[in-house]
Structure formats: C-alpha cells, structure tokens
Amino acid sequence: MESISVEKYLENVEPSSMIALMKVFKDCIFPLGGATNCPFQDAIKARSLLFAHGSKPFWDNPIFWYSLSSAILELGDTEIFEINTLAGYYSKYVLSSDNPLPNLYSSYIAISSLKGTWGILFDMDGIGLIGGSKTFIDNIRKYFPEIDDQFANLLIDWKNNDYVADNKWLPNTLIHIYGEVKGKALLEEARKMNVYFDLMYD
C-alpha cells in the first residue's frame, strides 16, 4: 500500500478541490445521534447502514469484502483511498481480481473512490455507513444480501445492551438513509422491540 500526502491526494480528485470522501458524506467523523443526523450528501442515492457488532458482524465475513471488491471493480475503479479520518492520513490501494480488497475495518477508517462516487465510513461504536449509486449497492447485495439485515442486527444489540434511542435523531436518520417508507418501517420495528420511544420535548 502506497502512503501519500494530503496534497497528493487532493491532486487526484476533481478540480473543485473537494476531498472525495466529502462528496459522499457531510461529515468525515459522523456522530449518529449527534451533530450529523443526515450524514450522506444529496447526490448519493443508494445508502445503507453497516453494523460491526453482534453475532454476525459484516467485517468478519469474507463474502462482504469479496462483494465490495467485485462491486468496486464492476464500476471500473482499480484504485481506492483508505482514509484514517481521525489521524488524517491517506493511503492509495490498487485493486484487481488478483488483488482483492483486504479486511480494512477499523474505527474511524473510511474507504472511497478517487472521484467520490461511493464511500464507506466507520465510527468508533461499530456503526458504519456505505453509499453510492444504486448499481454499486445492488452489486454488493448480489453476493452479500445480509447488507439489508444490518439495522436489524443493530436493534438486537441495542436490546441486549438496554440501549434506547429517541426521536431527537433516529427517525430523521433512518428516513435519510433508507427513504421514508422503509425508514418508517424500521422505526416501527425498533418501537416493537422497545428500543425506541417518542421523547416529548419543547
């Protein structure tokens, strides 16, 4: 893996000089339930949550990394950026069918295309976000249909750990990521499991 400077990184992105990752996400270090309830940029149409804990963590499944590698290559991307959003270093990874993506999961690590057409962002609490085109997400889903089970896994973890979310952030976040119909359905699942409640506040 070739380490590069921020300046060199900026030379490889679009002339607007916007960092590729910020074309996918509004905040590089996203505190869900905090400052960034709607973390994706509007241009990113297909979105999903990832969850790293519980009995079936995505990052420990080699099929996830295979599906991600395949989806990236099907877009024609052969180079990606691995970004430590906390420490501020950037590395370029060359991808091919003979050199697939390794397990890159770690807190505050992001992965993105050079042009910012898709990206993945992990925080310190095991929550991740992935977004890109519909084709990109569908190609991941083709080999890793469990991408649609990630919020359910999160709910189970919340239940097991007696965590309860409230309407200060969860409804907006789910609708932002999954759309209004699916977002509201997931919110109702959380309510049925008693890990969500409507907080009354002025």
> Which residue ranges make up each domain of the chain?
2-25+38-146
* CB 83, CB 114: distance < 8 Å: no
Considering only 4-8, 33-37, 95-99, 112-116, which range has the smallest mean pLDDT?
4-8
Q: What is the pLDDT of residues 8-17, one digit of tens each?
A: 544 544 333 3
What is the gyration radius of the CA atoms in the chain, in angstroms? 17
Q: Quote the mean pLDDT of the chain.
A: 82
Output the CA torsion 182→68→160→200 (10° steps): -40
pLDDT exceeds 90 at position 122: no
Tell me the mean pLDDT in the region 87-99.
Answer: 82
User: 172 vs 69, 138, 200, CA distance in Å?
Assistant: 31, 24, 16
The amino acid that residue 63 corresponds to is I
* Residue scoring higher pLDDT (2 or 190): 190
Token representation of residue 189: 């699942």
* CB 192, CB 159: distance < 8 Å: no
Q: What is the pLDDT of residue 12?
A: 46
Instruction: Name the pLDDT band for 120 (thresholds 50, 70, 90).
Output: very high
151 closest CA partner among 197, 189, 110? 189
Give whichever of 9-13, 181-185, 197-201 has the largest mean pLDDT: 181-185
Q: What is the pLDDT of residue 2?
A: 47
Q: What is the pLDDT of residues 55-75, one digit of tens each?
A: 778 888 889 999 999 999 999
